[in-house]
Chain A
Amino acid sequence: MTATLTPEVKEEHRPEEPPSSRVRLRRLWDRLTPYGFLSPTLVLLIILMVTPIVMVIGYSLMDRVITAPESNFVGFENYMQVLTDPAFANAVGNTIYFAGISVVAHFVLGIAFALMLNSPILGHKTKAIFRTVYILPWLFTIAIVAVLWRMLLSPNGIVNYLVETLGFSAGSVEWLSDPSLALPAVTFINIWSGYPFFMVSLLAGLQGISRDLYEAATIDRAGPIKQFLHVTIPQLKPIIISMALLDFIWTTQQFALIWMTTGGGPIDRTEMVSTYTYKLAFSTYDFSVASAAAVVVLVLSMVLAFFYVRHQKSRD
């Protein structure tokens, strides 16, 4: 504060004189100080985010980038190729199915387990045991999850053993190899590995809801279901919307799980936008078209991110 007051005092005494060079320097110094603090972050953002994004957008407008010594500007030709490719449309459809079902199931399982863990019926020790068990899938890296479920769902795996022993099927079921079962199977694996994130967040939200609201609802003769619908859900709504948007963005970008379990197959039944883009880049080395596909995904993600940010702002 002293730094800004001092020149004003001088101006009062001698208003006709311009500020001295020392004062101007000090003002400049004060103005630049915040940018000095921001500069490490800005430099990192420019190097790690802005530059790659700008480069990929640039690549998407050129032909034969990276693989050829010279490439030419082709405008939106690569985008046309991607958007008119039936394989891309199939990948988008699969991605929407995969992400949509996953988010809904994550929410349903997350809220169910969170309510259970927040229930006064269970003792502290029981809750601690269930909390540990329920959070386990979240502790595994996606590579472990993929290997684990490949083994469990293998034709000779334990799931088929149970299915056959319990009489649900006469022979082994090819969960990941059957064209009609593969997409539901990988979606199930993703649901299993992702619900704890919802559960933990919703549990934190539940613990923050005032007991007074439930007491007031009880006085108004609201039963457990009405309390859930008219107290719990409205109180959790900001968390639910934020989580759902984030989960949808993350799930649409899921690559490792799909790649390590099915590789996008059988045929094209589990092909996602991420695997489609990867194959273009690292299998056909068509980095231009792959960049165009990546930019399309970026734009779609930014639309979702826009809603997320707007929701966050409205909360603030």
Chain B
Amino acid sequence: MQRNPSLARSRVTGRWIIGVLAGCLAFGGLGSACTKKSSTENQDSKTASADSGQGTLQVGLVLDKGGKDDKSFNTAAWEGTQRAVRELGVKVKDVEAPDDAAFEPAIRTFAERGLPLVISVGFAQADALKKVAPQFPNTKFAIVDAEVDAPNVASLMFAEHEGSYLVGYLAGLASTSKTVGFVGGMETALIRRFLVAYEAGARAANPQVKVLHNFVGINMTAWANPTRGKELALTQIGQGADIIFQAAGASGLGVFDAIADTKGKSVFGIGVDANQNWIKPGKIITSMLKRVDVAVFDVIREVATQKFVPGVRSFGLKDKGVDYAVDEHNQKLIEPHQAKLEKLREDIVAGRVEVPDYYVQMKAKPKK
């Protein structure tokens, strides 16, 4: 084949340009994810943290792939910071890590910039924080859903099992088909903790109840795959489930789609983390609330008032750090069961009912 030299050259140049372009795009994509910040100010706030001395307190928030509009876990954390912006006049910089490898640089960047408080949202950031926290002893860190043992880290833990037991009990009471479902994101210890207690709660309400469970996937995409979440929910509905609890991040939205799209059967969903009752009004019987917003707000307030205490703090039914949602969207659905739920809540808080905790079971298992 005869080659035209000018053509060959332009081909090489073309490839070169495209290669550079591709490189720019790759780094541009990551760069935009890492530098995206939204600092919100509220100058009107009278309660601004005047006693913090050097002006406005800046808070770094590291979110996971679900992003601050996952309408669930990350959203709850984001709302906590926004309340702090309104009430304490702090500034918030947030970053959404596109994958697990991006957590460490994100946390480190915030710490290097001298932000006094950096909040990591999600158990997946525990390893990254374990590395970074000791290198910045003057920076305060907080992590949601994981324990990191360092003198400058506050670990915000939630008693998910208490809330899951409660909504499981509700599912057992409300199910007419005696079959209830659970859709989890990934098969992790945290999601198992939801499942084990949910199952026990449902059985406590009705020993004959059957509990189906499925997991969306085996990597990070499991939290953002609503199509698959929907398919799993439809499979469970096909097997007779009429109430489905989801703990699957943005994939859980697909579970609600399945419930809304099912005609001729009355099926209901149970939301998670944030109050999700509004997503399909009248179709979501309740949401298991995890008040990540309250925990995040509290930690910001502590730093703002120089009262930060490191260590593990747990939130449960007792302090309403974990709860179930009642609002105008689900009032009619939940009303017949509310008295029993309140009784159960009291029993759990008083220790009269023991809720199985997967974390405890896991530690108790003999290791070989």
**Do the two shown chains form a genuine complex with each other?**
no
Taking Cβ atoms with an 8 Å cutoff, the residues of B that contact A are none
- Please give the residue numbers on chain A whose beta carbons come within 8 Å of chain B beta carbons, in ascending order: none
